[in-house]
Structure 1
Amino acid sequence: MQLAQAYQHCLGIARNHYENFPTASKLLRADLRPAVAAIYAFARHADDLADEGDATGETRIKQLDAWETLLERCESDETIDHPVFMALGDAVRKHQLPIEELHNLLIAFRMDVTIHAYSSFDELRFYCKHSANPVGRLMLALHGVDSSEAVRCSDSICTALQLINFWQDLSVDLPRGRCYLPQTWLQESGLNSQDMLGGNISLEKLQPVLKHALQTTSDLLEDGVALLPMLPFRLRLQIAATIHGGRRMLGKIEKVTQPMEERASLSSGEWKTLLLPVLKDTLFPAFAIKRKPA
């Protein structure tokens, strides 16, 4: 297989999946899209190994281990005969990507197999450190942004986005046996993860927990706004849109009356209303830092 074919294979995977991942975004520089697609194809397949089908947990872990072996080879072995790793290895070398962040993603996928509830927020943040933050760090590396403050702000945004996804998907995750609300938060309202998984809860008790979860997530998202002035224009536009979308989603989740049964989402019309504030924050990022969210 030729390298160009390998990249086309990855781009095809990216275009055929809808995800909160900047694979096919027209905001990305055209020369960076193949590398992002290679990262996505790597993560997509690993995610499927962890979640899809009816394989046992032991089998899933072995498959993820085999996937990591290919990752270890691809950095230095240009003869590797696998389209995802042929493209990914080229992207890592060409853009000097931190390959440890790809290994971090695999840590999170293994956690998906073995852990289905979290005792504390620190444990949940450890998961986000490996499941979400690597994506932001890889995007920064692709754009040549490497300051420690930029990485810190990116981590805050990525962790917030992962948490938003958790609070948005309570009605999806709980029936699948996964509770991401930390046990310590639940205990403050007299609840526990088994209550959540069994559906044996009162909304009156759950509401303070969700309020705390949404506020904690909002604080993280706002902490990341300082990243905007550090980014090149195209990436800044994309991250500004991500931040505004995250804010709007937090508001939508807060208004859901049956969080165990309903899933909040943003319509195309709601996204369109964000165009002007996103453009303002992209053109005047310093003001975006000072301005309180609407």
Structure 2
Amino acid sequence: MTEHQQPSACQNLDEAYRYCQNIAHQHYENFPTASKLIRKDLRPGLAAIYAFARQADDIADEGNDASEVRLKKLDAWAVLLDRCTSQKLDQPVFLALGDAINRHHLPLDACHDLLTAFRMDCTIQRYTHEKELLFYCKHSANPVGRLVLALHGIHDTEALHASDGICTALQLTNFWQDLSVDLPRGRCYVPSSWLDAQQLSVEDLLAGQISAVDFDSVKQRLIAYTRDFYQQGIPLIGQLPARLRIQIAATFHGGVSVLNAVQSEPDPLHHRPELQQHDWIKLVPSVLATTSMPGRLYKHFTAKSVCSEEVLP
């Protein structure tokens, strides 16, 4: 549990937003809170969303509390979430979040979905089938995209579907990038049914008894499965306003590049692939090309173009 989880009473809305922005600036991850590409008037609302998710995630993942205690704390978080849109709570995150939800017409159910995922983090460490994994992504990643779109006034069904594709792809990419981190902690996101198909087991994977060579066929299946979700998300980019389009294009290409790095890593079970600064710089032409001609990304989403991050012509 971090120092942010026991905030002092706060009745001033400006103070509450500053509190959330401080949290956002300290934790970047994949959430574009501090990005200058986000419209200035929307940044406080985005920071409130981030602070809510960040602190709930801390409840689920940090500290030494038993799962039962974490679940009770998340239940209390859910009560505050339901109250924050109709009451001015003396808790800065929910004071700011309640204002942001009302001001920007944000979907409350998306915030509750995030709490569902955090509850799953407290109790579930293995997944049998990909449908279970997608259920987790539906609640852990997809709500973030939907909240960002709602913040920008985008509620189109096709845009939401495409956003879900990108968010799911990013979540899956993070799972495969973090295999060497999660497995020693006893957490496995690789569907056990996929391991069974190759005469492998979750128990052996968690025990470090599966070689990179034996795991490679499973890895290739994970990569291909994830790439399909990136492709599902391509139509979103052309539907976005200019500033957000640049942000999402960069996120898209960055995610695909990480996925490619996982694919290229000989032993992702023991080594975490990461992009270096020069890798990010190499993405700039592709991001700009996608931003200016989003419709052409479909044609170039192949193993020879976007998947290897060549510059789009």
- Is the TM-score greater than 0.5? yes
TM-score relative to the length of structure 1: 0.98
2:195 counterpart of 1:186: yes
Match of 1:69 in 2: 79
| 1:158-237 pair list within 5 angstroms | 158-237=167-246
Shift of 1:222: 1.4
Match of 2:69 in 1: 59
Match of 1:33 in 2: 43
Question: RMSD over aligned Cα, in angstroms?
Answer: 0.9
Shift of 1:203: 2.1
Q: Is the 8 A contact 1:190 1:205 kept in 2?
A: no
Q: Distance in 2 between matches of 1:292 and 1:180?
A: 26
Q: Distance in 2 between matches of 1:103 and 1:233?
A: 29
TM-score relative to the length of structure 2: 0.92
Shift of 1:193: 1.4
Match of 1:279 in 2: 288
Q: Distance in 1 between matches of 2:109 and 2:201?
A: 35
In structure 2, which of residues 116, 139, 150 is the aligned counterpart of residue 130 of structure 1? Answer: 139
Shift of 1:292: 2.8
Q: Distance in 1 between matches of 2:199 and 2:42?
A: 49
| 1:83-162 pair list within 5 angstroms | 83-162=92-171
The list of structure 1 runs, each at least 4 consecutive aligned residues, that deviate by more than 6 angstroms after superposition, is: none
- Which ranges in structure 2 are unaligned for 5 or more consecutive residues? 1-10, 306-313
Q: Distance in 1 between matches of 2:206 and 2:85?
A: 41
2:20 counterpart of 1:13: no
In structure 2, which of residues 33, 53, 68 is the aligned counterpart of residue 43 of structure 1? Answer: 53
Q: Distance in 2 between matches of 1:199 and 1:287?
A: 43
- Which ranges in structure 1 are unaligned for 5 or more consecutive residues? none
Shift of 1:145: 1.1
Percent identity between matched residues is: 54
Q: Is the 8 A contact 1:23 1:33 kept in 2?
A: yes
Q: Is the 8 A contact 2:28 2:34 kept in 1?
A: no
Shift of 1:268: 1.4
AA in 2 matched with 1:48? D
Q: Distance in 2 between matches of 1:24 and 1:58?
A: 34
Q: How many residues align?
A: 293
Shift of 1:24: 0.3
